[in-house]
A = this chain, B = another copy of it.
Amino acid sequence: MPQLNKLSAPPQGLSSGAQVILDMAKRLFAEQGFDAVSINQIARQANVSKANVFHHFSSKEALYLAVLRSACEETVGSLAETHSSGRVADDLWTFFSSQLAAMLGNPASAKLILREIVESKDGRERTLAEEVFAEYFSRLVGMVRAGQAQGVLRRSFDPALFAYLMLGANIFFFENHKVTAHLAEGGFVRAPERYSRDVFQLLLQGALADPEADHQAPGS
């Protein structure tokens, strides 16, 4: 349970040897968590010696931190540019669907970050992973608030609450779709795109202002 309260990113890339170690470590840490993975395992699967791992990373915790930093960089990079289209519903849809696609497209990074957020211990300071999450969240809240200001969305609910629901729906799906797939009534997880579209439609339906019946679903 490493701490990582600092954002201080090392400026440049890694040597090729260090890179394969880091990639393998990312995969294993994401799948099994920090404690379940040993340096031995990482070294073996990366086809290097254990000592070589410690040559590139001063400790297991330092390796984990490097992995997490890399995951955060990939994540913020994947949603760098979000240009508004003017239509709030479309912007929300773009954000919503691309966020799930980003997680499914890079599950290792997503799992790492989500794990780090949930695992955060007691009275501990804010972590790097939480910074990323907060960034996501604030952007989404802004969109919802804009929709309310324009009168497209009802003003009777907290914009942060709606944003929270949207984010939660995606993250919950991402973390559980393997399990829910073999659930009796869970046939609806056949395709993530379909899930995305249907959930968004349901959520938006609950948020739209009354007289605006002419909004068409983004996927149709």
Chain A interface residues toward B at CB < 8 A: 1, 32-36, 117-118, 120, 126, 130, 133-134, 137-138, 141, 157-165, 168-169, 171-173, 175-176, 178-180, 182-188, 195, 198-199, 201-207
Question: With A161-B199, A203-B206 given, is the CB distance from A141 to B185 under 8 Å?
Answer: yes
A126 CB contact (under 8 Å) in B120, B141, B182: B182
Q: Which residue of B lies closest to A161 (CB)?
A: B188
Question: With A168-B173, A207-B206 given, is the CB distance from A183 to B35 under 8 Å?
Answer: no
Find chain B residues with CB under 8 A from A184 CB.
134, 137-138
Q: Are B138 and A198 in contact (CB under 8 A)?
A: no
Q: Are B36 and A188 in contact (CB under 8 A)?
A: no
Most B-side CB within 10 Å, residue of A117, A137, A141, A164: A164
- Give 13 A-B pairs besides A34-B36, A202-B207, A205-B205 with Cβ atoms closer than 8 angstroms: A1-B32, A33-B33, A118-B175, A133-B183, A137-B185, A137-B186, A141-B185, A160-B188, A161-B202, A165-B169, A168-B176, A202-B203, A206-B207
Find chain B residues with CB under 8 A from A198 CB.
157-158, 161
A205 CB contact (under 8 Å) in B33, B133, B186, B206: B206
Find chain B residues with CB under 8 A from A206 CB.
202-207
The distance in angstroms between the C-alpha atoms of A130 and B188, with both chains bound, is: 18
Q: How far is the CB of A93 from chain B (nearest CB, A)?
A: 15
Find chain B residues with CB under 8 A from A120 CB.
178-179
Q: How far is the CB of A111 from chain B (nearest CB, A)?
A: 9
The distance in angstroms between the C-alpha atoms of A138 and B126, with both chains bound, is: 38
Find chain B residues with CB under 8 A from A35 CB.
33, 35-36
Q: Which residue of B lies closest to A182 (CB)?
A: B126
Q: Pick 21 A–B contacts, CB within 8 A, sort by A.
A: A1-B32, A33-B33, A118-B179, A120-B179, A134-B183, A134-B184, A137-B185, A137-B186, A138-B184, A141-B185, A157-B202, A158-B188, A161-B199, A162-B202, A163-B185, A164-B186, A165-B199, A169-B172, A171-B172, A205-B207, A206-B206
Q: Which residue of B lies closest to A185 (CB)?
A: B160
